[in-house]
Amino acid sequence: MARHYLDHASTSPLRPEASEAIRRWLTSSAGDPARVHEEGRAVRAAIEDARDQVAALFGTRARQVVFTSGATESVHAAVWGATWDRPDGAILCAGVEHSAVRDASARLARIVDLHVDPFGRIDPAQVASLLRDAPATALVHCQWANHEVGTLQPVADVVAAARSAGVPVHADAAAAAGHVPIDLGNDTAPDFVAVSSHKLGGPPGTGALVLGRKVRIEPLLVGSSQERARRAGMENALGIVGFGAAAGALQATLADEALASRGFTERIADAVLGVPGTVRVGDPVGRVPHIVCFGVSGVEAEPVLLGLDRAGIAAHSGSACASESFEPSPVLAAMGADPSHSLRLSTGWSTTDQDVAALAAAFPGVVSGLRALR
């Protein structure tokens, strides 16, 4: 049976450009990029070329890019960098943020919850109001786009409100990077932006923290002076090279891929919403193009996912039974949606018409069969 992968928001398959860059790297000589010998200089050059590619994708300067092990580490580094010298400072954070953001924040500071609307979007006016009332605030979180429902956040407006109060902003861009244009070379860019390689078709195990032009950060990992003394530990050159190649490819293809993904997800929405008892969750317009989320009444998420899997389709849900956690999705709970009946479908660079057609053909029968068992 042919397989149809519609879970790119969890991880996207490795792009051919990244695969080829990694293949070439595996056949080259090894060296410590911190050494002055020829082998070390060659590795350093490869890392810096990749840094240039990642920086170019996000419209920023290469020296603002700090390579990490992934978005989770980038998030922790941002939270630590913003709060290590402000132990009494609060952090503004919505319930729709990724668990890495909320958990990293809760370890180091008191969280002040931001409300969200039914689409999962925060209100910049509330941010401004809270900052006026809480001058000790150390950091504001504003994800670029939600990882479960796809809703885009008003990042520039939140940055403007926070900057007026002298408070830095962190944006988790793992769900948005490589799917919508992100320009970090202007005055509305957040102070910290976390990016993941594997979400955009690069290899897992690498990512980046992109710093604002004037941001100086106390490193989370200490012990040596890699990444301009901002992240200790020998760089994952293999992963970084693949990440750079994926970013380089996206500079030419992002607009076309976003247009294709928007078309695919709208066709998916038509198919899913054609089944009675289904509703769309998240903003249908102001969203990243590759993610759509639905509520499906009358059936739990896990049987739907298993039914789709038997039909050859990979999907995801915010339900506890379909994740590593035993807790229901805090994202959907914060939005007032039912996490036990959610279905997330996401497309990417490798999605085809056949993938969407397979979902459209299988979904009605899976749901009707499960409902008949009640």
3-class secondary structure for 9-71?
Answer: CCCCCCCHHHHHHHHHHHCCCCCCCCCCCHHHHHHHHHHHHHHHHHHHHCCCCHHHEEEECCH
pLDDT band of residue 349 (cuts 50, 70, 90) is: very high
Q: Are strands 291-296 and 90-94 parallel, antiparallel or unpaired?
A: unpaired
**Mean per-residue pLDDT for 216-233?**
94
Supply 198's token pair.
Answer: 């594997």
* Model pLDDT for residues 134-157, shown as the tens digit of each residue: 778 999 999 999 999 999 999 999
User: What pTM, to 2 d.p., does this model score?
Assistant: 0.95
Alpha-carbon Rg for the chain, nearest whole angstrom, is 21
* Model pLDDT for residues 26-74, shown as the tens digit of each residue: 988 789 999 999 999 999 999 999 999 999 999 999 999 999 999 999 9
**Mean per-residue pLDDT for 3-16?**
98
Q: Identify the sign of the CA torsion 96, 101, 106, 112.
A: negative
Contact 323, 147 (CB under 8 A): no
CB-based burial of residue 325 (10 Å sphere; 0-12 exposed, 13-18 middle, 19+ buried)?
exposed
> Is a pLDDT exceeding 70 seen at residue 232?
yes
Kind plus residue range of the DSSP H or E element containing 124? helix 124-133
Which of 13-17, 128-132, 151-155 shows the lowest mean pLDDT across its residues?
A: 128-132
Chain length of the chain: 374
Q: What is the pLDDT of residue 327?
A: 64
Q: 353-372 and 301-310 are packed helices; what angle lies between their axes, rounded to 10 degrees? A: 130
Please name which of 217, 182, 231 lies closest in space to residue 56, comparing C-alpha atoms: 182
Q: What is the pLDDT of residue 337?
A: 79
The DSSP code sequence of 305-320 is: HHHHHHTTEE-B-SSG
Q: What is the pLDDT of residue 319?
A: 56
**Mean per-residue pLDDT for 230-234?**
95
- The SS3 call for residue 224 is coil
Active-site positions read: 321
CA quadruple 72, 78, 80, 84: dihedral, nearest 10 = -170
Please name which of 42, 5, 2, 7 lies closest in space to residue 199, comparing C-alpha atoms: 7
* Model pLDDT for residues 235-289, shown as the tens digit of each residue: 999 999 999 999 999 999 999 999 999 999 999 999 999 999 999 999 999 999 9
* Model pLDDT for residues 176-194, shown as the tens digit of each residue: 999 999 999 998 999 999 9
- Domains belonging to the chain, first-starting first, are 4-11+254-372 (3.90.1150.10), 16-249 (3.40.640.10)
* DSSP bridge partners of 207: 68, 196
In 274-300, which residue ranges form alpha helices assigned H by DSSP?
Answer: none
> Is a pLDDT exceeding 70 seen at residue 324?
no
* Model pLDDT for residues 156-171, shown as the tens digit of each residue: 999 999 999 999 999 9
Q: What is the pLDDT of residue 229?
A: 93
